[in-house]
Amino acid sequence: MSAILADAAPILQIEDLSVSFDTAAGQVKAAENVSFVLHRGETLALVGETGCGKSVVASSIMQLLPGNAHIQGRAVYAGRDLLGLDEREMSRIRGSEIAIVFQNPSLALNPIIRVGDQVAEMLRVRKGAAAVEAMQKARDMLSGLGLQGEKKMRMYPFQFSGGMNQRVMIAASMILSPRIIIADEPSKGLDGALAKEVMAEMARIKNQSGASLLLITHDLNLARDISDRMAVMYCGEIVEIGRSEEIFNKPLHPYTAALLDCLPERGFQPIPGSSPSMINPPSGCKFLPRCPKGSERCNRMPGMATVEGMSTAFGSSESIGREVRCWLY
């Protein structure tokens, strides 16, 4: 976990972001009224089950969604709304200021260009660095992530395992020292020990450059280990946001509590039922059909409520309370 910084000014503000897709079966509401703030130097984890809309939030920030997506809301970075920028301005920001590490590295890398060249290319294209210097930096970056030696630099992505490709992706996205790194399931495909190593290296590079990290993951333990704050998503909505350690120790939303009970160390207690349809979601609280604490009032949509007495301040200059979307609070 990164040290809590005195200067905890917001670097990215997501305000009421809603994303829907037109499909043959109807309109899929992938994200609804998502709001959160990412601070300078902070690691914020967006956690939730597959299909809850985590990756959609990340892709909409980077304007990487397909044409059938309807996006509403704002994503304010450095005083500008990213969602309103044109493609030329956006491509200047992508990579050099906000970088994204995708969950499927084998698809994100060019299969017929050597990995060393792919990492060095970022410096040559964006910073105009000389070829030799760029290669040297790429070599340093890759060896820091456990891919040492000239031979590895000259290999192609298809000669690497999924985990090695993931490290190449991390190197390529971090070599330009971006101010925000969005990592979409960066530990996917890596086994336990390696995942920890790669995440530790990622955290080290992030702390060195003072960047902020938006970590998207369904691995709750990873989120707890490396994030300062955590936002729990269910069915396209953020249901709880607060300090990771506090959420782990005292989850407030019934869904967060149920999700944590699924963890091996808490005895694999399953959540009854399954996630609702994103085309026709329940009109009130979306967790109501599976909630053990549901009541009549839950048929109305609850708003985000700040819970007093549970300060989850990030940095010393600002205090942010725990926020929960539940009628119980």
Partner 1 sequence: MLAILKAEDVSLVYESGLIFKKRHEALKGISLQLQPGKTVGLMGPSGSGKTTLGKILAGIERPTSGRIFFAGRELGTMNKSETTAFRKAVQMVFQDPEGSLNPKKSIEQSIAEVLAMLKIPSGRWKDVTGRMLEKVGLSEELLCRYPGQISGGQCQRVALGRVLLLQPQVIILDEPTSALDISVQAQILNLLKELQRDLGLAYLLISHQSNVIRFMAQETIVLEGGMISEQSSTYSHSSPGNKPQNIA
Residues at the site binding partner 1, with contacts judged by CB under 8 A: 49-51, 191-192, 218, 220, 258-259, 261-265, 267-271, 274-275
At a CB cut-off of 8 Å and minimum separation 6, what does 186 contact? 101, 103, 166, 170, 198, 199, 202, 215, 217
Cβ atoms of 212 and 177 closer than 8 Å: no
**Residue 311, strand partner residues:** 321
Smaller CB separation from partner 1, 287 or 314: 287
The residue among 214, 232, 236 whose CA lies nearest residue 324 is: 232
Rounded to whole angstroms, how far apart are CA atoms 123 and 140? 13
Smaller CB separation from partner 1, 149 or 273: 273
Smaller CB separation from partner 1, 112 or 274: 274
Q: How far is the CB of 31 from partner 1 (least distance, A)?
A: 18
Rounded to whole angstroms, how far apart are CA atoms 67 and 13? 24
Smaller CB separation from partner 1, 11 or 47: 47
Q: How far is the CB of 287 from partner 1 (least distance, A)?
A: 12
**The tokens 């959420």 sit on which residue?**
247
Rounded to whole angstroms, how far apart are CA atoms 157 and 301? 47
Cβ atoms of 323 and 303 closer than 8 Å: no
Smaller CB separation from partner 1, 38 or 271: 271
Q: How far is the CB of 262 from partner 1 (least distance, A)?
A: 4
